[in-house]
Structure 1
Amino acid sequence: MTAHSPITNAQTMTFPESARAAFAAAYPDQPARLCHDLVGHDLLTLDALATLAERMPASSVEYNLGKLPLGVRPEDTPSNGLTLGETIRTIETNGSWAVLKNVERDPAYGALLDAALADLEPIVRAATGPMLHREAFIFLTSPGSVTPFHMDPEHNILLQIMGTKVMTVFPARDEALVPAQKSEDFHGGGHRNLVWQDGFKARGTAFPLAPGEAIHVPVKAPHFVENGPAVSISLSVTWRSERSVAEGELHSFNALLRKRGLPTGTVSARPERQGLRRLIYRVMRKLGV
């Protein structure tokens, strides 16, 4: 894709053949470094993103000071004292972090998401079924900012557009990192941030990212991000699958059982196959048990 051109040509690929091959080898359970062709796109400049942010609802934006401890509690996250537009336009010097959520609700950014995921859809469908609940998020970070240790419920690919960062990714389903009760709380609406211990770092793999590079992050693989010496813009394209939905249902089922003092069950590496437990959970939820 040439810089400054909107995605209108169905033959234009966001992810070249080498990236699609690397993704196919890793998906859904392993992180993988990929490459992409969105650097320089008109929709992903600071000015374009500031304009987008100013017309988005407050519920779809989050921003705060960026130099945070890896294990900061959500309630301790400090404000930067600026408006969102000011935060983005002066992000080079204001020491902040911002995320624009669900940018796919804007038609132009929705087309950007659809084009990116179209490259990967056949691979995803073969492994975990249809792509469900597709979303896009844009992260803007000042030099030296840190995104604390956390996890996300979606299949995720983070595309680096401007600047550099290092994402350190940890294995999913490691209960030393994410205890079972934390997963249960998370799927019940609990915060994404996780408790950090210094001994965890050796369990992770660091992935340096430069413009034109990307990383596949498996569902609920814990990670943290350290920004480089320049402003960073990253685009996150995400989706759910029957597997990720099933995992959420099974952890929610365990939360119901634990609340009633009943034995909880194991959530397997293939939760979509645990049909009976999922059915029982859906019946209990429907009945309000």
Structure 2
Amino acid sequence: MRHLPPHAVETFAGLYPEVPHIIEHQLCDHPLMELEALAQLAERLPAKNIEHAYAAQPIGVTGKPPVPSISAADAIRQIDTAGCWVALTFIEQDPAYRALLLSVIDELRAAIEPRTGAIHTPQAFVFVSSPNAVTPYHFDPEHNILMQIRGTKVMTQFPAGDPFYAAAEIHEAYHTGGGRELSWRDEMLPGGKDFALAPGQGLMVPVMAPHFVRNGPVPSVSLSITWRSEWSYEEGAARAFNGVLRGWGLSPALPGRWPAQNRAKAYAWRALQKLGLK
């Protein structure tokens, strides 16, 4: 059974990897996406792979939000009234969810690999959210398709690589072990683009594109399918090396968005790592 209709794959192939866009999917009725199945998954996953917090969050946060007293599994079962959001991370550890992830990736492989090369580290994440929950402003290092399974949400997405929305120093800190949460300023809002998602729709999110998410008035379930590529690894390594240069008192140029533009800095960063200097 296909999870993506052919026209969705065709649309994706024409716009990947830099243009965010909505595509259709056929995962809404998949048994692994039912609330009870996800609650049981939360009970199987290691604690380090479960994040949950209160639904009422500002767009910008400092550090990690407080953890509710209710367990993540119970929050999923009671998501209509729990007032929480739950993130199940790296769910590919579970064989059934790994098989689902890889089957979706395989449907996209012929569109992905000619543009960004071999697919590395395919991963998947599930987000279960109470009504009106907010996922604060942040970025992610992977190529990502966020698939809406239940409920609605709006992702407000900002241009990737633009230091007005995520300063170079924040990128550099992230790629050397820092967090992915970003500082929010209201003057950034006009530069964002809203993407409304309903069940059966997915949104392609470019690597490191800053965004925040607001859920609709009913509980939401989303599946995030992600992978890394030479593109994402080279940019990350170049960002990390820029952090070294900045520490030496220099003002390095921003990395490019294509791997070839970042190769020299990426090699330099990896050389420092091999020498044990970073």
TM-score bucket (shorter structure): over 0.9
Q: Is 2:235–2:266's contact at 8 Å kept on the other side of the alignment?
A: no
User: Over residues 162-181 of structure 1, what are the superposed CA-to-partner deviations in whole Å (9 max), with x where a residue is unaligned?
Assistant: 11111111110111001110
Report the Cα offset of residue 55 of structure 1. Answer: 1.1
Q: Is 2:80–2:131's contact at 8 Å kept on the other side of the alignment?
A: yes
Report the Cα offset of residue 73 of structure 1. Answer: 1.2
% identical equivalent positions: 44
Cα separation, partners in 2 of 1:286 and 1:230, compared to 1, 3 Å: same
Counterpart residue identity of residue 181, structure 1: E
Q: Is 2:172–2:240's contact at 8 Å kept on the other side of the alignment?
A: yes
Counterpart residue identity of residue 39, structure 2: A
Q: For 2:209 and 2:100, locate their aligned partners in 1 and report how far apart those are by CA, in whole Å.
A: 25
User: Over residues 181-204 of structure 1, what are the superposed CA-to-partner deviations in whole Å (9 max), with x where a residue is unaligned?
Assistant: 010011112111111111111111
Q: Is 2:3–2:26's contact at 8 Å kept on the other side of the alignment?
A: yes
User: Over residues 265-287 of structure 1, what are the superposed CA-to-partner deviations in whole Å (9 max), with x where a residue is unaligned?
Assistant: 43012134433322222212211
**Aligned length in residues:** 277
Q: Is 1:14–1:116's contact at 8 Å kept on the other side of the alignment?
A: yes
Q: In the alignment, which residue of structure 1 is the partner of 2:132?
A: 144
The reply on whether 1:220 has 2:196 as its aligned counterpart is no
Q: In the alignment, which residue of structure 2 is the partner of 1:6?
A: none
User: Over residues 195-220 of structure 1, what are the superposed CA-to-partner deviations in whole Å (9 max), with x where a residue is unaligned?
Assistant: 11111111111111111001000000
1:1-289 aligned at under 5 Å gives the runs 12-75=1-64, 77-289=65-277
Counterpart residue identity of residue 71, structure 1: G
After the TM superposition, which parts of structure 1 deviate over 4 Å for at least 4 consecutive aligned residues? none
Residue ranges of structure 2 left out of the alignment (5+ in a row): none
Report the Cα offset of residue 85 of structure 1. Answer: 1.5
Q: So what's the TM-score if we normalise by structure 2?
A: 0.97
CA RMSD of aligned residues (A): 1.1
Q: In the alignment, which residue of structure 2 is the partner of 1:5?
A: none
SS at match of 1:62: strand
SS at match of 2:17: coil
Q: Is 2:238–2:263's contact at 8 Å kept on the other side of the alignment?
A: no
Report the Cα offset of residue 22 of structure 1. Answer: 1.6
Q: For 1:103 and 1:155, locate their aligned partners in 2 and report how far apart those are by CA, in whole Å.
A: 17
Report the Cα offset of residue 263 of structure 1. Answer: 4.3
Q: Is 1:250–1:271's contact at 8 Å kept on the other side of the alignment?
A: no
